[in-house]
């Protein structure tokens, strides 16, 4: 059974989230562009939900949260990071880990780069890139999916195609979320990343002492694997894991493998994730 939906007032409007509660270490879950916390619902019921206090947030313009009053400020790497900071303050979190998928991974990097009490980052479908066109192109593949990711207005067929690319061929479970999302997010977010209106993400993962796990599908349609292979991760505890038979959403396509890797990675006494 999913925990109830709660809400709080952030710097960027009223936001809604689910919190499993309990005494476990907090793990904040950040969804991808145009999705919502509902994409993580199955994780609350598996071993991840039994091992951690899971907190899934609807970012502004997504799911049950409000659309932004100031889209240029809110629908940005820094605006979404503000929301995660406000959530941690609201809940009184003194430390937490973050799993960020796709857009959510870029937000997670920004939160950690600000010096928030993040004790572990798991990034999936998120190439840490340098600002500028060249920096972005080094991390992302040019594709129809990338074109859709920046399209403001979705027709129903656009939502279906985007979900097939992101979640898996034929998936239509989250089309409602995709149609609900404020298309100005897709229009604005990537621009702020490319303009460097945030911490330099590639530099951060290469110099930080925060443990970082890059967890990607072997067939991710958005991410250039060669870019990830060239990264020199800064933390001795950092790792890059590629999961076979998975694309952009490892946590959805291979949930058992994903859960084992995350549980092991965020537990410093465990080592089995290295053999995944």
User: What is the set of domains in the chain, with CATH numbers?
Assistant: 5-275 (3.40.50.1820)
pLDDT at 2: 95
Q: Is the pLDDT of residue 272 over 90?
A: no
Write the pLDDT tens digit of every residue in 43-82.
999 999 999 999 999 999 999 999 999 999 999 999 999 9
Count of CB atoms within 10 A of residue 4's CB? Answer: 7
Rg (CA), the chain: 17
Q: Give the residue-averaged pLDDT of 14-34.
A: 97
Strands 13-19 and 5-10: antiparallel
Mean pLDDT over the full length of the chain: 95
Q: What Å distances lie between residue 270 and 81, 95, 100, 266, 273, CA to CA? A: 30, 20, 21, 8, 8
Write the pLDDT tens digit of every residue in 224-245.
999 999 999 989 999 999 999 9
pLDDT at 268: 58
Give which of 118, 116, 136 is closest to 128, Cα–Cα: 136
**How many alpha carbons fall within 13 Å on the CB side of residue 137?**
4
Residues 6+ apart with CB under 8 A from 159: 175, 178, 179
What dihedral angle (degrees, nearest 10) is formed by the CA atoms of 147, 149, 154, 160?
90
Q: Give the residue-averaged pLDDT of 95-121.
A: 98
Which residue did the predictor score with more confidence, 261 or 133? Answer: 261
Backbone angles phi, psi at 156, to 5 degrees: -60, -40
pLDDT > 70: percent of the chain: 97
């Amino acid at each position: 059974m999913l925990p109830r939906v709660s809400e709080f007032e952030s710097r960027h409007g009223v936001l809604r989230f689910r919190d499993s509660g309990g005494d476990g270490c907090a793990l904040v879950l950040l969804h991808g562009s145009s999705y919502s916390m509902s994409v993580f619902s199955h994780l609350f019921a598996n071993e991840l939900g039994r091992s951690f206090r899971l907190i899934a947030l609807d970012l502004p313009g997504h799911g049950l949260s409000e659309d932004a009053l100031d889209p240029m400020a809110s629908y940005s790497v820094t605006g979404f990071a503000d929301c995660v900071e406000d959530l941690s303050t609201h809940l009184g979190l003194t430390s937490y880990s973050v799993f960020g998928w796709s857009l959510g991974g870029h937000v997670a990097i920004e939160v950690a780069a600000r010096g928030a009490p993040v004790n572990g980052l798991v990034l999936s479908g998120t190439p840490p890139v340098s600002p500028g066109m060249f920096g972005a192109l080094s991390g992302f593949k040019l594709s129809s999916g990338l074109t859709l990711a920046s399209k403001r207005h979705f027709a129903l067929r656009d939502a279906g195609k985007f979900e097939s690319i992101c979640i898996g061929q034929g998936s239509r479970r989250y089309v409602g979320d995709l149609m609900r999302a404020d298309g100005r997010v897709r229009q604005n977010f990537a621009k702020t990343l490319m303009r460097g209106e945030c911490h330099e993400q590639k530099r951060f993962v290469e110099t930080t002492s925060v443990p970082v796990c890059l967890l990607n599908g072997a067939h991710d349609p958005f991410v250039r694997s060669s870019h990830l292979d060239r990264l020199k991760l800064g933390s001795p505890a950092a790792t890059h894991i590629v999961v076979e038979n998975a694309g952009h959403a490892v946590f959805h396509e291979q949930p058992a493998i994903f859960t084992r890797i995350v549980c092991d990675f965020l537990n410093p006494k465990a080592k089995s994730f290295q053999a995944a």
